[in-house]
Structure 1
Amino acid sequence: MSLGEYAVCVITKMIIHEDSMVEKLSLSASRKEHVAAVLEHEKMIYVGRVKRVDFYKYAVCVVMKMRIHEDCEVGDLMLDATREERVAAVFEQEKAFCVGRVKSINLGLYAVSILSKLGIHEDCVVEILSLYARKEVAAVLEQYQTLCVERVKNMLLWDYAVCVLIKLRICEDNIKENLYLVAYGEQFSRILEEGDSSIELGRIRRCGFYVTEEIRRKLRYILVDGEGKEVLEEGSDEEETAASYRETS
């Protein structure tokens, strides 16, 4: 199901059978008035069971009015906004909003800032959290105190979205399978301003820790093996000493 521009407001009039499954719900609105009727709607908008949700431009704000079937786990949630004003409505309300259970969350450009308002079901484990942001978005992210990601298995941060690391609050018992930071040069500048071992990341699988040595120095983390047991970092003083001892024994 794809709705664009003024047609986005049709979603407030739809009656969806609770047993139906929508493969994909895609909304795109290039002007604020295109979603005005949705945002002014008093009640939450029931969309039933949905496998994939893609909202673009001003339609990104519709996510806070959306109610998904309580037994449904959304496979992919994609939110993308190229201008700051397109997510402004989300921050006009004080409370966060819950999107239920989601396997994969992809936030692009100014939609990255919505992470501070986005809530998921307390027993949900997010398989993938992917964030992409350009340079102008970095200043927006600085406005928020913390960004709670709770339980996330795989985290991919692209370009200037890597600066989100300094704002993360991570569940202590969460083990990340993979952490990818895909950025270059000045895109890392905000992280490099932090003190050594000052950015808390929690537990990470050693085989899935894709971070350069320069950035690792700024992070505080515990590496674990496939069984969740703590392991030494490759090249650490302790590991080199142990290797030297084995060679001379």
Structure 2
Amino acid sequence: MSLGNYAVSVLPKLRMHKDCEVERLELYADEKEHIAEILSQDPKICVGRVKNMEFWDHAVFVFLKIKKVGEDPESLLLSIDGDELRRKIHKELKEENTVICIEKTEKLILKKHAVNILPALKTKGEMDMFVLDVKNEDQISEVLAEEYKGISFGGIKDFILLGSAVNLLPKIRIKEDCEVEKYSLVAEDERQVSNVLEKEDRSISAGRVKKMQLLFYAVCVITKLRIHEDNTMEKIILSADELCFSGILEEGDSSIEVGRIRLCNCCVPEKIRRKLRYTLVDGEASEVLYGEGNEVLEERSSSQRRNHLD
């Protein structure tokens, strides 16, 4: 079900039973007048059991009204375009001292100014997908504030930060033994990683990562990440032009610890590769690629060796 602008006002008239199952509900409203009728009504809105919810711009106000009576969706997307709108929503949350409980939500996607709602969200710390998509620093001002202590994850499959959201890494804690299927950071502007680069090396836990993808300026963040010492990555991709990773070139050779990586899935520029310290293993983990200068294949001994590779 998708309702846009003035059509959103028909939602209360649908009178869906609380046990009604809805696969998808998408609401978008460009102007406040599009949702004025809904906001003027005292009764809360029941939309049944919705698996996937999307609320865009002023429709986020409708989400706040729905959430007070509805169950947590499996997937939730919130997007707010415009600082003035974000301030109005923040004011309402603050005045009502609202905490939005989404402990059963498995996929959370926050876009633009909606990321600033993060301090008001209560999660269970385990998700299938967590995505923050931000264009600039203004869209994460509330999350960067000192009074917000951050969010913790004990389990997460897909962890994705886009744009200035990468600067929120110090506010996001992933437990050391947390299994992360996909760890993806994308930053096309140097300012989008400036906050992270001020932190100590290996100060940010990435857990046990299976697939890591760092693109553009996010490549520089690898010096700040701490990957579990007993981890084997199925794939690692570091992709950027030299302008983006010039800071890494100042690091010593074999100085950046990344653990074990599958033999055929190490997609890293040569200039960065020589700065990394890792062990390559084959599909059966029976061999390692060993060498310094000249690389050769050698059978793995019973006691694991640490190898420095150019």
- Matched with 1:85 is 138
Q: Which has the higher contact order (CA 8 A, sep 6+)?
A: 1
Stretch of structure 1 that moved more, 191-200 or 29-38: 29-38
Aligned partners of 1:234 and 1:4: how far apart in 2?
A: 53
8 Å contact 1:105–1:126 — kept in the other structure?
A: yes
Please tell me the residue identity of whatever aligns with 1:96: G
In the alignment, is residue 5 of structure 1 matched against residue 57 of structure 2? yes
Task: Please say which of residues 113-122 and 217-226 is displaced more in the overlay.
Answer: 113-122
Distance 1:174 1:155 in 2: 12
The one-letter code sitting in structure 2 at the alignment partner of 1:204 is I
Whether 1:174 aligns to 2:260 is: no
Q: CA deviation digits over 1:19-52, x for unaligned, max 9?
A: x643443333421404414763645411243343
Structure 1 residue 54: Cα displacement: 1.6
Are residues 101 and 192 of structure 1, via their aligned partners in 2, closer, same or farther at CA, if it must alter by over 3 Å? Answer: same
Alignment equivalent of 2:173, drawn from 119, 138, 159:
119
Give yes or no for contact 2:234–2:261 (8 Å, CA) kept in 1: yes
Match of 2:109 among 45, 54, 72: 54
Instruction: Choose which of 153, 156, 163 in structure 1 pairs with 2:213.
Output: 156
Report the CA distance between 1:134 and its aligned residue: 1.7
The answer as to whether partners of 1:78 and 1:107 remain within 8 angstroms in 2 is: yes
Do residues 202 (structure 1) and 259 (structure 2) align?
A: yes
User: In 2 relative to 1, CA 198–42 (structure 1 residues): closer, same or farther, beyond 3 Å?
Assistant: farther
CA distance in 2, matches of 1:121, 1:42: 29
Normalised to the residue count of structure 1, the TM-score between the two structures is 0.82
Question: What is the identity percentage for the equivalent residue pairs of Structure 1 and Structure 2?
Answer: 37
Give the C-alpha shift of residue 187 in structure 1.
Answer: 1.3
Is the CA contact (8 Å cut-off) linking 1:8 and 1:34 kept in structure 2?
Answer: no
User: Using a 3 Å threshold, how does the CA distance of structure 1 residues 240 and 155 change in structure 2: closer, same or farther?
Assistant: closer
Aligned 8 A contact 1:11 1:45 in 2: no
Q: Does the alignment pair 1:103 with 2:143?
A: no
Q: Does residue 231 of structure 1 match 2:288? A: yes
User: For residues 118 and 240 of structure 1, do their structure 2 counterparts lie closer, same or farther at Cα, with a shift above 3 Å needed?
Assistant: closer
Q: 1:147 to 1:9 in 2, by over 3 A?
A: farther
1:235 shift after superposition: 8.6
1:207 aligned counterpart, secondary structure: coil
- How far 1:219 moved relative to its partner? 0.9
Please tell me whether the aligned partners of residues 16 and 46 of structure 1 are also in contact (alpha carbons under 8 angstroms): no
Shift of 1:59: 0.8
CA distance in 1, matches of 2:119, 2:176: 17
C-alpha distance in 1 between matches for 2:55 and 2:106: 16
State the Cα deviation string for residues 154-184 of structure 1 (Å, max 9, x = none). 0001111101111111111121111001111
1:74 aligned partner:
127
Structure with the higher fraction of residues in helix conformation? 1
Distance of aligned partners of 1:170 and 1:240 in 2 relative to their CA distance in 1, 3 Å threshold: closer
The question of 1:30 aligning with 2:87 is answered no
* Paired residues of 2:166 and 2:193 also in contact (CA < 8 A): no
Establish whether residue 217 from structure 1 lines up as the match of residue 265 from structure 2: no
**Deviation of 1:4 (Å):** 2.7
How do 1:114-153 residues align onto structure 2 when only pairs under 5 Å count?
114-120=168-174, 124-135=178-189, 136-145=191-200, 146-153=203-210
List gaps (5 residues or longer) in structure 2.
Answer: 1-52, 300-310
TM-score, with structure 2 as normaliser: 0.67
In the aligned structure 2, how far is the partner of 1:198 from the partner of 1:108? 27
1:10 CA drift (Å): 4.3
- Tell me, what secondary structure is at the counterpart of 1:181? strand
